[in-house]
Structure 1
Amino acid sequence: MAYVNSYPAQSYNRVNGEWIPDKIYKPKTKYSIFWSNGEPWMEALIYLSERRTKSATIRSNAFDLRAYAEWLEENSIHWLHFPIKREERCLERFRGYLIASSRRNSGVPSRRINAVVNFYRWLKARGLIDKQLKMWEEQQVTVLFFNSIGFQRTLNVSTTDLRIRHRKANINSLEGGLLPLSVEDRDTLLNYLKANTRDQYTILHALFVLGFFTGARISSIRTIRIENLKNATPDATDPEVMLVAAGPGSGIKTKFDVQGYLYFLKPVYDFILDYAQTNITRLERQAKAIKTNKSLLFLTKEGKPYSEGSINTAISELRKALVRDGLTQFHDLKFHQSRATCGTELAREFMKHDDSYAIEHVRDWLMHKNESTTWTYIKFLKKSKAAKKANDAFIRQFLGPNFS
C-alpha cells in the first residue's frame, strides 16, 4: 500500500515532460508520498514541498493524501480518473467511501476530502493537469462566526459539491471541541499521577499542573526553559502571581505568535521551579542533553525535547492505565482539557464580579488572540447553568413524586 517517508523532501520542476530536481528551492516539509511499488507520487511531493503553513498542517495534509493514495491503489483507480459520469469519478467515489466508513460526528472525512480537493486545486493552478478538467461543481455557502467582541456574523465562502458536512457532537464544548474536567476529576488525576513513582508519571504530573493552573498549551509548555522561570516578575497588581514572558523573543512558543505572559500562581511557580532544579529524573535527563537543550524544563529519557507526538503517546498510555485502574471517567482524556478546565474555573470565579471583567481576565490569562474565543467560556458557563436549572425543573414536573 502507499506510504509516507519522513526524510527531507527534494523539490522538482517539470521540464519537457520530465521531473528535474530543483537545487535552489529549499522545501519546508520533510514528507514524501510513495506508491506501493516504491515510486514517488511526484505531484503530491511537489505540492507538500511548496506548502507554506504550519508543520503540523503539512503533516496532516501528507497523511490525508497518503490515505487517498492507499484507497486509490486498493480500488485500482488512477488519481486522474474523471469520466463524464460523475458517480464514476475518483473523487466522487472517494467521498462516498469516506462517508460510509466513518462515524457521523467524526471530523476526519471533512478534513480529508478538503485536503485532497486543495491538492487538485493546486495542480490546476500550477498547470500540472488540464484546467478544463471537470472534477466538481463550485458552490457558495454561508458560515457563522463570532467577531472579536463576541457578536455573531456570517460570511460567504467558496466550496465544492464534494464537501462533507461535519455534524458536531451534541455537547456543549470549548476550544478544540473539548469539555473541561470537573474540579473533583482534576484533583483525582493529579493525585493519581503524584502517587505513582514512575519517571513518566512524575513528568506528566508536572505537565498537568502547568496545564490546569496556567492554562498554557502543550506547545508552550514544551518550550519553557529554566531561564524563563528565573526571569519571571511579580504581577504589579498581585504579587502572588508570577508573570513568565511568552511569545516571540522569549523562546516560549505561542499560538499565532501572540506576545504576553503565562500567569503562575505563586505556589505553582515555586513547585515548577523546584521541579526544574531538584527533580532527580529531570537532572538525569538534563545530563544527557546537548548544551542547547539542557535548560528545557521537560526532556525525554534520551535528553531530547519532547515532541507533540511523544506527549500524545504518553497521554494515550496514561488513559489506558487510568481505565485499567477503574478511573473510567478519563477514557477519552486529552491534555488540552487541562487548558479548558483552567479557563472554565477562571471564568466561573471572575463572572461572580462582572462578565466584562471575566472576559478581559480570561483572555489575558489564556493568551487568546481574539476575544471571540474567550466568549466561548462565558457562554459555556451560562448555557450550562441555564441547562441545569431547566433540567431540574423538567425532572420535578415530568417525573413528579414517582422518583422524588
Structure 2
Amino acid sequence: MLTIVQSGDFETEIQTPFCETKSSIQLKGFPTFYEDGEYVTPINLWMNHLINVKRAKNINSNVRAISRYWRFLRSHKLSWKDFPTIKSNKPTYIFRNQDLMAAVKTGELNSSTAAIYMNHVIKFYEWSYYEGLIEFSKDNKPFEVEFVSIKTTGMLAHINRNYVVRSSDLRIRVPKRTPEQSLNPLTEDEVKLYSQALSQQCIEFQIQQLLQLMCGLRIEEACTFPADLVKRCDPENYHVQVRIGPHNGVHTKFGSIRTIEIPTVLMNKMYRYLISERRQKRELKADHPVTELLVTNRGKPYTPNAIQRHFYLTRVYIRNELNAHFQHRTHDLRATYGTFRLASLLDEKIGLSPFDAMSLIMGWMGHKDEKTTWRYLNFINRSKASIRAVCFLDQIMDSVINEYEG
C-alpha cells in the first residue's frame, strides 16, 4: 500500500568544497512516499529535488502523477526500472495505454490531464537517469526520444516558420479547443444534482466546495482560507467582501491580493463550523496552532490532494447512488461561479454594462489577463442553454447551507 505523508521542514549538514568546516542548510518539507512502511527512495529524492532545488511552488500534479504510476506498477507487478525490448511490454507504455488513455476514454481524466501526468513520469525518468538512479541502454529504456517540429505563430513567423522541440513517443496528444470550449461549467441540472450529493459529504468538504462554487476560489485558495476572516454576519446583507492573499495565509495564484464576495449564508455556515465542537476537537490534535479554517481529523489543514480524493468519491456517489452521469473537475466549480455570476450581473434588472460586469468578475476571480474573463462572456453568448441568474446558485445550495451540522 502506498502512503504519502507531508514531512516537516528539516536541517541538514553540507560540506563546503576545499573547506574543513561544515555548515547546515534549512530545507523545506515535501510529500514523502512510503510503500508498505518502506521509504520509497527514488520518488522521495525527486520530490526533494522539485521542492528544494527547482523551488517549485506547487507539485500537486507531480504527486498525483507519480503516485498513480507507482500504484499502477504495483497492481500489475511491474518494476519501475526494467524495460523489455518489446515496446508494448514496457511499463511506461502499458501505463500510458491501459491506464491513462483508458481513463480518458471513460471520461475519468481529460486528455490534457493525462498528458500532464505522462509528462511528469517522463521527467521523473529523465531526472533519475541524470542522477544515476537508473541506467538506460539501447534495449533497456523507458521511451524513445523524438524531435517535433512546431509551427511558429509569433511576430517573426515569416522569418522562422518552424522550431524544433525534444519530445518522446509517450506523449499524449491533446485536441485543440477554443478558449470557450475549455470552460466546462455545471449546468443548472448538474448544480442541483451536485448539491444533492454534496449534502451527504462531511462539513469540511462542503465548505471547501462552496467556496469554489459560490465565491470562485481556486482549490488551493479554498483550502487555505483563514479562520480569522470568518465572522457572524447580518442575514439582511446579501454578500460580504473580504480581502485574501499571502498577507493572511491564502495561497492565491501569483501571490496576488484581491477582494472576493462571500454570500452571507455561506459566511454564517463557516462561522458555525468555526465555533463547533467538531472543529475544536480536531484542532486539539494539531502540533501547532492551525490558522486555516478547515481542519482534518488528524489536526492538519486540508490539502488539494485530499479534496481531489473527496471529489472523486462524490462523483462515484453520484454515479452509483443517484444513477447520473457527472464528469466534472473541482476547477469546473470555479467556472460555474464565473458564468452564473457574470450572467446575473448582465441581467436587465441590474443594468450593468458588459464592461462593468467584466471588471467586477475579473477582480473577484483574480484574473490577471482580461482575455481570460472574456471567455466567460463569449461562453454565455454562445451557449444554447440559458443561464438564469441572480440568485440561482444561492437558491440551489440552500439545502446544503442550512442543513443540520452535528
Place the TM-score, normalised by the shorter chain, in its bin.
0.5 to 0.7
- Length, aligned pairs only: 347
Q: How does 1:120-269 map to 2 (within 5 A)?
A: 120-123=125-128, 125-126=130-131, 136-142=144-150, 158-168=165-175, 179-187=184-192, 189-190=194-195, 192=196, 200=201, 202-230=203-231, 241-264=239-262, 268-269=263-264
Structure 2 alignment gaps of length 5 or more: 15-22, 155-160, 387-406
Closer, same or farther in 2 for the Cα pair 1:359/1:278, shift >3 Å? closer
Which of the two has greater helix per residue?
1
The question of 1:344 aligning with 2:319 is answered no
Structure 1 alignment gaps of length 5 or more: 14-21, 147-153, 233-238, 388-404
Q: Give the aligned partner of residue 31 of structure 2.
A: 30
Per the normalisation by structure 1, the TM-score is 0.64
1:121-177 deviations in Å (ceiling 9; x for gaps): 32454466779978633423438999xxxxxxx995723232423345989976xx5
Deviation at 1:111, TM superposition (A): 3.2
2: CA distance between counterparts of 1:249 and 1:179?
31
Closer, same or farther in 2 for the Cα pair 1:98/1:294, shift >3 Å? closer
Closer, same or farther in 2 for the Cα pair 1:23/1:311, shift >3 Å? same
Q: What amino acid does structure 2 have at the position aligned with 1:286?
A: Q
2: CA distance between counterparts of 1:42 and 1:296?
31
Closer, same or farther in 2 for the Cα pair 1:184/1:127, shift >3 Å? closer
Deviation at 1:7, TM superposition (A): 7.2
Q: What amino acid does structure 2 have at the position aligned with 1:217?
A: R
Closer, same or farther in 2 for the Cα pair 1:140/1:370, shift >3 Å? farther
Q: What amino acid does structure 1 have at the position aligned with 2:360?
A: H
Q: CA RMSD in A?
A: 4.9
Closer, same or farther in 2 for the Cα pair 1:294/1:213, shift >3 Å? same
Q: 221-230 vs 252-261, which deviates more?
A: 221-230
Q: Secondary structure at the match of 2:246?
A: coil
1:15-44 deviations in Å (ceiling 9; x for gaps): xxxxxxx9867464233476x9x9876554
Q: What amino acid does structure 2 have at the position aligned with 1:183?
A: E
8 A Cα contact 2:13 2:25, kept in partner: no
8 A Cα contact 2:69 2:95, kept in partner: no
2: CA distance between counterparts of 1:68 and 1:322?
25
Q: What amino acid does structure 2 have at the position aligned with 1:272?
A: L
8 A Cα contact 1:33 1:44, kept in partner: no
1:185-219 deviations in Å (ceiling 9; x for gaps): 435644x479x6x7x45555544443332111232
8 A Cα contact 1:68 1:116, kept in partner: no
1:359-386 deviations in Å (ceiling 9; x for gaps): 4332211112333432332332233249
Closer, same or farther in 2 for the Cα pair 1:122/1:157, shift >3 Å? farther
Identity of aligned residues (%): 18
Q: What amino acid does structure 2 have at the position aligned with 1:62?
A: I
Closer, same or farther in 2 for the Cα pair 1:309/1:27, shift >3 Å? closer
1: CA distance between counterparts of 2:33 and 2:353?
52
2: CA distance between counterparts of 1:381 and 1:155?
36
Deviation at 1:51, TM superposition (A): 1.1
Per the normalisation by structure 2, the TM-score is 0.64
2: CA distance between counterparts of 1:349 and 1:155?
45
